Amino acid sequence: MMALEDAIYSEVIRGYTFDIFGLATFVELISIFTDWAWLILLTIPIAITVWGVRALLNWVFTPTEEELAETEEMNSHRTKKEKKLRNRRR
């Protein structure tokens, strides 16, 4: 019996293979009408690039636990100062 991870992995590969084959077939059929149909094949590297850049930006700009704790501490100090200022105005 196949392990669950192996089954999932093989299904993902088959799915991507079918998608790429379908895209290539679509481009071949469209290329009958225009010479610019090959540009459609650029969707694969563009999608991979977008995925990679998005993952990188999420990794860079996601705050760590320490940064979140500092932010919460700063917010609590800020609210205390705001309360003092409100009380002085009254």
Going from the C-alpha of 11 to that of each of 6, 46, 58, the distances in angstroms are 9, 23, 27
Provide CB contacts within 8 A for 20, sequence distance 6+.
44
Any long-range contacts for 61-68 (C-beta under 8 Å, 24+ apart)?
Answer: none
Nearest Cα residue to 17 out of 42, 44, 38: 44
User: What is the residue-level pLDDT of the chain in tens, covering all 90 positions?
Assistant: 567 777 666 666 677 777 888 889 999 999 999 999 889 889 889 999 999 999 999 989 888 888 777 877 777 767 767 777 777 766
pLDDT of residue 51: 92
The C-alpha atoms of residue 41 and residue 26 are separated, in whole angstroms, by 10
Q: CB–CB of 44/23 below 8 Å?
A: yes
